[in-house]
Structure formats: structure tokens, C-alpha cells
């Protein structure tokens, strides 16, 4: 099954507590498409400048990402620079230069508009809405990512597109900001009332919470003792999640959504172990399976999947 992603392809310059890189491949659609390419066919829609490097085109091609929607315009590719300190959960943006991305207006071709799965990566909600309106028919699944920049500056437009999607990926602080709540569970419920039945709250190194109708699943993050570059963790998470759903023909049963959440966590864990997309670049499905099994082993606390009563007779009663 084909998964269509619309988002940004950029060059990032990143400084951490110990290293730095300049003009490395970044952007929401880059991380997402490479992460999801391990599970399903991916088509990418984005815009880059005529300075876009051939080696980066080759990298996408090596993952069989369909680049028929990658527009190359005269000018420079979108550039972002940021810095991380000792706490890698805190990121400081140093500069943002939209360049050719400033007037990005995606035009979908016939193969794009028939895609059954659509991911609207973290870009202007007006562009997200325009893309959805171009789809020939409502996709089987439409998912959306966003950030505080759009929540604070384009909330009305953002709420319009949120009402039309099936799933929303959002981090915990953004969920509180969007809803005005001070409690994650209340915020997720309010978002579900707006439109999407599935809300995935990203919590960085603390994992993620899946809210699926009335079901709640708390997924751990795979523990990494040396986080190199956390820039694309959330986009890689979404790529793994949506890749699993597309590969399973849109199976949105509760158990499959939980599997997808764990796989998303795994893809995010690989992404943060190197700069740019290089943590994702040379994986094998056996690598993903190994971490999947480790997460299962770390989080199980019963010998079977059956619910068991606590052995109350072993405990001293109160009073």
C-alpha cells in the first residue's frame, strides 16, 4: 500500500554539547519517508532548491522513496539551525531561512491523489488543508503532525484541518497549549472531540501515550544511553507508526495501533543515534524486530497476556 507524505525537506545545521554538523539532510518529510520506507511504499511531496545535493536524491532513491512530487526550484533549499545543551530535550532554534519553501504550493499528480494513506507532516495548516482538498477521494487514513508555531500563530486554520483527520501526532506541551488544559488525558479527550479518534501524545525520552477512542496505551521509549541528535525523533516515530498501518492494509484495531506505537518508538530511537537521517539509513528489519522484542521484555509483568488478580492473601490488610 502507498503512503503519501507532504512536508519539508531541508538542510539542518546542528550543534550539540560535543559535536556539530552543517547542512545535513533534515526536514519532517525526510525523516518520515525514510523511517516508513522500511514497511511500505512511500511517495514524498516537498520542494527544494537547485542547491539540493545529488547524494541526498540518491539516499531517497536507495530507500525506494517516490520523488515524483519533489519540486526543484531556482533558489536555496529551506535551512534551519539549532543547538542542544546537556539536556537534549531542550532545543534552541538559532535561525530559520525558508528560502524556496516560503511559497510552497504542492500540486498533486494522479498517483498522489489516489493514495490510500496520507500523512500531513509539520507544515502550515493551510497547506495541509489544501493537500487534503486535492485528494480524489477521502484516504483510508489521514494523519497530521503540528507544532507550537502553528498553534500560536494559525490556530483557526489548524483546528479546521484537525477536524478532518483521523489521527493527530502532537507532543505533550503542544497538546496542553492547543486545548488550554493542564492535564494530558483531558487534552487528548478534547482533541478527540474536535475530530480525530486517535491521538498520539509524544513525550520524547519518556515514550508516548496512545489515545484510541476509550482505550489508552502507554508506550515506553527505547532507552538510549548516547543520544547524538534528537532533531528528527518525532518525525521518525510518525514514519514507523504510519508505515506499520499502511503495511497492514489500514488495520486500526487497538492491538495494531499499539504495535505501531512501539515500532514508532523504535524508529525514533534509531534516529537519535546519529546526526541527520543517518541513524535510519542502514537498518534491517531484524534490527527493528530485536528492539521490538526488547521493549516487550522490558514492559511485560505477567507470564501471559491474561489479566490476573493480585494475590491479596499475601498482603497485610489495612486496619
- Cα 21 from Cα 88, distance rounded (Å): 16
- Cα 64 from Cα 260, distance rounded (Å): 21
**Entry field: residues in the chain:** 319
* Domain membership flag for residue 93: yes
* Domain membership flag for residue 288: yes
* Domain membership flag for residue 319: no
* Domain membership flag for residue 250: yes
Ramachandran angles phi, psi of 25, nearest 5°: -60, 130
Q: Which of these, 123, 195, 131, lies nearest to 153 by C-alpha position?
A: 123
Cβ within 8 Å of residue 142, ≥6 positions away: 117, 118, 119, 120, 132, 164, 165, 166, 167
pLDDT in tens, the chain (319 residues): 799 999 999 999 999 988 999 999 999 999 999 999 999 999 999 999 999 999 999 999 999 999 999 999 999 999 999 999 888 878 899 999 999 999 999 999 999 999 999 999 999 999 999 999 999 888 999 999 999 889 999 999 999 999 999 999 999 999 999 999 999 999 999 999 999 999 999 998 899 999 998 899 999 999 999 899 999 999 999 999 999 999 999 999 999 999 999 999 999 999 999 999 999 999 998 999 999 999 999 888 766 555 555 555 545 455 4
The domain in which residue 19 lies consists of 2-314
Q: Which of these, 313, 271, 296, lies nearest to 24 by C-alpha position?
A: 271
Residue with cell 543515534: 273
Contact 111, 135 (CB under 8 A): no
Contact 112, 66 (CB under 8 A): no
Q: Starting from the edge strand earliest in sequence, which strands make up the sheet with 208-212, in order?
A: 66-73, 41-49, 2-6, 117-120, 141-145, 167-171, 198-202, 208-212, 215-219
- Cα 1 from Cα 60, distance rounded (Å): 18
The three cell numbers locating residue 119: 500523512
CATH number at residue 288: 3.40.1190.20
Contact 39, 33 (CB under 8 A): no
| Number of folded domains that form the chain | 1
Amino acid at each position: 500500500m502507498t503512503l503519501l507524505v507532504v512536508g519539508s525537506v531541508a538542510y539542518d545545521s546542528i550543534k550539540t554539547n560535543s559535536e556539530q554538523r552543517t547542512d545535513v539532510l533534515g526536514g519532517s518529510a525526510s525523516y518520515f519517508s525514510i523511517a516508513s520506507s522500511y514497511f511500505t511504499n512511500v511517495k514524498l511531496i516537498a520542494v527544494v532548491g537547485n542547491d539540493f545535493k545529488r547524494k541526498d536524491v540518491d539516499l531517497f532513491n536507495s530507500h525506494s522513496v517516490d520523488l515524483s512530487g519533489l519540486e526543484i526550484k531556482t533558489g536555496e533549499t529551506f535551512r534551519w539551525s539549532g543547538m542542544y545543551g546537556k539536556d537534549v530535550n531542550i532545543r534552541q532554534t538559532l535561525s530559520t531561512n525558508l528560502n524556496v519553501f516560503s511559497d510552497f504550493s504542492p500540486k498533486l499528480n494522479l498517483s498522489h491523489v489516489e493514495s490510500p494513506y496520507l500523512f500531513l507532516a509539520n507544515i502550515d495548516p493551510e497547506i495541509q488543508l489544501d493537500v487534503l482538498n486535492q485528494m480524489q477521494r477521502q484516504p483510508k487514513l489521514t494523519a497530521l503532525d503540528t507544532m507550537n508555531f502553528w498553534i500560536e500563530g494559525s490556530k483557526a486554520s489548524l483546528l479546521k484541518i484537525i477536524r478532518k483527520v483521523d489521527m493527530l501526532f502532537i507532543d505533550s506541551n503542544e497538546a496542553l497549549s492547543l486545548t488550554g488544559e493542564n492535564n494530558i488525558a483531558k487534552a487528548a479527550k478534547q482533541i478527540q472531540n474536535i475530530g480525530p479518534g486517535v491521538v498520539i501524545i509524544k513525550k520524547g525520552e519518556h515514550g508516548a501515550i496512545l489515545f484510541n477512542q476509550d482505550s489508552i496505551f502507554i508506550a515506553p521509549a527505547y532507552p538510549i544511553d548516547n543520544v547524538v541528535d534528537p532533531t528528527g525523533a518525532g518525525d521518525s516515530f510518525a514514519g514507523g507508526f504510519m508505515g506499520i498501518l499502511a503495511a497492514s492494509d489500514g488495520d486500526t484495531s487497538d492491538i495494531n495501533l499499539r504495535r505501531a506505537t512501539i515500532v514508532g518508538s523504535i524508529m525514533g530511537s534509531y534516529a537519535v543515534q546519529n546526526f541527520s537521517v543517518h541513524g535510519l539509513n542502514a537498518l534491517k528489519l531484524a534490527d527493528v524486530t530485536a528492539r521490538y522484542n526488547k521493549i516487550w521484555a522490558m514492559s511485560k509483568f505477567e507470564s501471559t497476556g491474561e489479566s490476573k488478580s493480585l494475590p491479596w492473601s499475601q498482603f497485610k490488610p489495612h486496619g
